[in-house]
Amino acid sequence: MTHSIQPKNLLAGLGLALLMLSSPIAVYVWQLMGFAPQADLAHPLLLITITNGFSILLLIGIYYRFWVRLSQLEQGEGNSQFLSPESRDTSWRTRYRDRQQAELQEQNFVSVILDTANALIIVLDQQGRIIRFNHTCERLTGYSFEEVKGKYIWDLFLIPEDIESVKTIIRELQACHFPNEHENYWLARDGTRRLISWYNTVLLDDNGAVKYLIGIGIDITERQQAEQMRRQLERQQELSQLQLRFFSLVSHEFRTPLSTILASVQLLQLCPNKFSPDKKLRNLQRIESAAQRLRQMLDNILIINRAETGQLDSQPTPINPEQFCQGLLAEIPHNSDKHYALNFVQQTDCKNAYLDDKLLRSILSNLLTNAIKYSLSGGTIDLQLTCTPTEVIFQVRDQGIGIPAADIPHIFEPFHRGKNIDSIPGSGLGLTVAKTCVNLHGGNISVTSELGVGTTFTVTIPG
């Protein structure tokens, strides 16, 4: 405190002396100018007053400049101005050393956080070279930081399929498009692959330019494997349920036509002479219809199996769609229990197209069979053909019971049947087969329906 009290005392003494000397100095100056104080006392007094006022203002300025500063010095602020050169040099060195220590502590603090984090943290320069690589990265890859420092990540860790996508991510970061996220595989030293989920951002310099690229990654390999196992289990459960439904439906669907065939044959055998030619013809038609149903179900099962095992593909050949549709309608057996009209409607001239006739037969036969099955007696079923320069469009339209709106999103799923079918027999495979064959053609199938009015299926195939 000695250095701050003495200047204050000095300042106070100088101020008092200035006030005491200002009056005599003013009178002496007045006399030198030729004025007698006895003759005109007002002028010296005026001068003294002005001089004292000036002295007071001067003292106030001095106080503001120095006294307040000295008070700050007592609190330990800025006292280097009053220190000796040796003391100022020592103080500067101390502050510089303290600042260096603080920066070093902060760096160590950040390093500890990066190295103890249970996440992969990698820092790249603007070109994508590694300048920081934490302990988690070292443990996962088997490389030390010294081995990877200054190298590009695509030269060390990326599989060939991921290189371009990662470079694209880095270019986006370099263009200040951040943050972004992506997943890619990393190759470890021992050749194992780990799937990493990355969150990427950048660090900017004082001018707003990208200085560092920062990636924070989490190893999700086990999570992905668990997800794959979960999907496999779900798939197995679905397959088990489908198998149960398949055996239940197929056993029922096979039993019905077989029973029809067996009963008709027995009647014809036991009473060959008791039936008129018309009754014999009806029994033969029942046998034919039942056999057709069996063949249709077997064909559907084989098509689904071949499609799921990758053994079914489209093999287009030049055909005449008009003749094909007319021949298909002629092959459909007449159901003696129902009276309906099958119509072929041709919208445009369509004599040449490039289609797979086997797949097309499966598509249209299933749609027509369903239209017949779910139509009321006396209804009309139309097969409409339209050709454009690039497409062939088939429409199967009936006047049947219709499909509930809640069932439409699921009608192409295996074994799915509408809630309004009651006791109408069916396996639930026909529409699945139709859609599978349409997809193999690279086409599209859609449906519109209204309960009690009818249903229209539209098949569009590139031709």
Q: Three-state secondary structure along 271-303? A: CCCCCCHHHHHHHHHHHHHHHHHHHHHHHHHHH
Q: Kindly report the number of other CB atoms within 10 A of residue 212's CB atom.
A: 16
Tokens in use for 304?
Answer: 């689904």
Which position has the higher pLDDT, 417 or 62? 417
Smallest Cα–Cα separation from 327: which of 306, 344, 305? 344
- Examine the pLDDT at 227 and tell me if it is beyond 70: yes
For domain 228-308, the CATH class is mainly alpha
pLDDT score of 382: 94
Range with the largest mean pLDDT of 48-57, 271-280, 435-444: 435-444
* DSSP class per residue in 314-351: ---EEE-HHHHHHHHHHHSPP-TT---EEEEEE-S---
User: Which of the 8 DSSP states describes residue 144?
Assistant: -
Q: CA separation (Å) from 325 to 16, 57, 316, 349? A: 126, 117, 16, 13
- Fold classification of 317-462 (topology level): Heat Shock Protein 90 (3.30.565)
pLDDT in tens, 341-353: 889 999 888 888 9
pLDDT score of 24: 60
* 336: confidence class by pLDDT, cuts 50, 70, 90: low
pLDDT score of 119: 85
Statement: the pTM of the whole predicted model exceeds 0.75 = no
User: Which of the 8 DSSP states describes residue 142?
Assistant: S
Contacts by residues 261-265 (CB-CB < 8 Å, ≥ 24 positions apart): 261/286, 261/287, 261/290, 261/291, 264/290
Range with the largest mean pLDDT of 31-35, 81-85, 183-187: 183-187
Cis omega (within 30 of 0) for bond into 179? yes
pLDDT in tens, 20-39: 555 565 555 556 655 544 44
* 277: confidence class by pLDDT, cuts 50, 70, 90: confident
Distance, in Å, from the CA atom of 146 to the CA atom of 164, rounded to the nearest integer, reads 26
Cβ–Cβ under 8 Å, residues 455 and 447: yes
Give the chain's length: 463
pLDDT score of 77: 45
Of all residues in the chain, what percent carry a pLDDT higher than 90?
A: 33
Measured in degrees and rounded to the nearest 5, phi and psi for residue 350 equal -145, 85
* 429: confidence class by pLDDT, cuts 50, 70, 90: confident
* DSSP class per residue in 236-277: HHHHHHHHHHHHHHHHHHHHHHHHHHHHHHHHHHH-TTSS-H
Distance, in Å, from the CA atom of 33 to the CA atom of 130, rounded to the nearest integer, reads 87
Distance, in Å, from the CA atom of 202 to the CA atom of 353, rounded to the nearest integer, reads 58
Quick one: 454 exposed, middle or buried, by C-beta within 10 A (0-12, 13-18, 19+)? buried
Question: Measured over all CA atoms, what is the biggest interatomic distance in the chain, rounded to whole angstroms?
Answer: 176
Measured in degrees and rounded to the nearest 5, phi and psi for residue 319 equal -135, 165
Which residue in this structure is represented by tokens 């050709």?
Answer: 387
User: Which of the 8 DSSP states describes residue 16?
Assistant: H
pLDDT score of 445: 96
pLDDT score of 2: 44
Range with the largest mean pLDDT of 185-194, 271-280, 414-423: 185-194
* 289: confidence class by pLDDT, cuts 50, 70, 90: confident
Which residue in this structure is represented by tokens 């239940």?
Answer: 248
pLDDT score of 430: 86
User: Which of the 8 DSSP states describes residue 408?
Assistant: G
Homologous superfamily (CATH) for 117-219: PAS domain (3.30.450.20)
pLDDT score of 12: 56
In sequence order, which residues have a C-beta less than 8 Å from that of residue 458 and are 6 or more positions away? 393, 394, 395, 445, 446, 447, 448
In sequence order, which residues have a C-beta less than 8 Å from that of residue 133 and are 6 or more positions away? 122, 123, 143, 145, 148, 149
pLDDT score of 80: 46
Cβ–Cβ under 8 Å, residues 175 and 87: no
Alpha-helix runs per DSSP H in 125-220: 135-141, 145-148, 163-174
Tokens in use for 279?
Answer: 């009754």
Of all residues in the chain, what percent carry a pLDDT higher than 70?
A: 70
Dihedral, 4, 6, 12, 17 alpha carbons, nearest 10? -150
* 50: confidence class by pLDDT, cuts 50, 70, 90: low
pLDDT score of 431: 92
User: Which of the 8 DSSP states describes residue 441?
Assistant: T
Q: Is 279 left (phi over 0), alpha (psi -120 to 50) or beta?
A: alpha
User: Which of the 8 DSSP states describes residue 128?
Assistant: S
Range with the largest mean pLDDT of 46-50, 155-159, 244-248, 331-335: 155-159
pLDDT in tens, 377-392: 888 999 999 999 899 9
Helix (H) or strand (E) holding 353: strand 353-355
